[in-house]
């Protein structure tokens, strides 16, 4: 199998944690994609994923699977022991519910703020990410507020549960963790009084599958190229 991605960015980080959790790293060939140069918006990549986002998983039969949740589902079920996406109907329903909230109310909100209210990833990619329309920056700042509200929501959840979807680590935790990584890069800080979220993040950061694979949100060289 092959994965087209760029290490250190939020959605690729999600899948690399999944691979580590499932012990699948040796089966994967990683193919780097130049996100700063907008390679993922060019024809060759769009033939793999018309949405123009990473990561993309290529199976041995040539099938392409895009979207981090779909890739996680595939990888988690390969061995018949889906510990990240749920085993029972109830587990699956709760994990997918929290997964969607993690994406919509935190990870995507941070991304919208980053790409619309800041310089983002630079001029080449900005042409694809931030069309010029009135109120763009104002909307981007509202997305920052949405991300902060998402942090508050997950802090409340984690006051009563050890993990985002209940008693076990799941793909919803991976997505929230990636969202907080992205928030760091975008300059959105977890509020000081969100003790449960902060403690959960410290705990998850020490998991073997996370500790040596999440890395910094963006590679230092990329930040220097962008003048950040």
DSSP assignment of 26-63 equals GG-EEEE--TTTTGGGSHHHHTT-TT--S-EEE-TTS-
Sign of the CA dihedral running 64, 67, 68, 72: negative
Are 54 and 40 contacting, i.e. CB atoms less than 8 angstroms apart? yes
pLDDT score at 123: 55
Are residues 161 and 94 part of one domain?
yes
What are the beta bridge partners of residue 208?
none
Pairwise CA distance, residues 140 & 145, whole Å: 9
Q: Report how many domains make up the chain.
A: 2
Residues of the chain predicted below pLDDT 50: 130, 134, 215-221, 223-228
pLDDT score at 126: 58
pLDDT score at 219: 47
Q: Tokens representing 16?
A: 């690399």
Strand order in the sheet with 29-32: 29-32, 2-5, 56-58, 64-66
Are residues 197 and 122 part of one domain?
yes
Q: What is the CATH number of the domain that holds 16?
A: 3.40.30.10
pLDDT score at 226: 43
Residue 19 lies in a domain: yes
pLDDT score at 213: 65
Residue 83 lies in a domain: no
pLDDT score at 131: 53
Give pLDDT tens digits for 10-32.
999 999 999 999 999 999 999 99
pLDDT score at 128: 58
Residue 227 lies in a domain: no
pLDDT score at 214: 52
Are residues 153 and 58 part of one domain?
no
Q: Which domain holds residue 50?
A: 2-77
């Amino acid at each position: 199998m092959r994965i087209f991605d760029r290490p250190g960015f939020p959605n690729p980080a999600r899948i690399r944690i999944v691979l580590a959790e499932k012990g699948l790293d040796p089966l994967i060939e990683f193919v780097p994609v130049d996100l700063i140069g907008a390679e993922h918006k060019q024809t060759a990549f769009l033939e793999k994923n018309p949405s123009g986002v990473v990561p993309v998983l290529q199976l041995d039969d040539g099938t392409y699977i895009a979207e981090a949740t779909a890739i996680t589902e595939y990888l988690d079920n390969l061995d018949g022991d889906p510990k990240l996406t749920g085993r029972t109907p109830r587990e699956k329903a709760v994990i997918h519910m929290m997964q969607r909230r993690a994406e919509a109310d935190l990870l995507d909100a941070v991304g919208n703020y980053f790409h619309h209210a800041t310089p983002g990833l630079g001029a080449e990619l900005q042409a694809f990410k931030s069309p010029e329309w009135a109120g763009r920056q104002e909307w981007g700042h509202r997305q920052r507020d949405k991300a902060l509200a998402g942090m508050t929501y997950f802090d409340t959840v984690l006051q009563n549960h050890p993990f985002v979807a209940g008693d076990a680590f799941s793909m919803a935790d991976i997505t929230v963790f990636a969202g907080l990584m992205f928030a760091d890069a975008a300059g959105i800080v977890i509020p000081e009084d969100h003790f449960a979220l902060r403690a959960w993040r410290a705990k998850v950061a020490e998991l073997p599958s996370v500790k040596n694979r999440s890395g910094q949100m963006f590679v230092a060289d990329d930040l220097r190229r962008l003048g950040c």
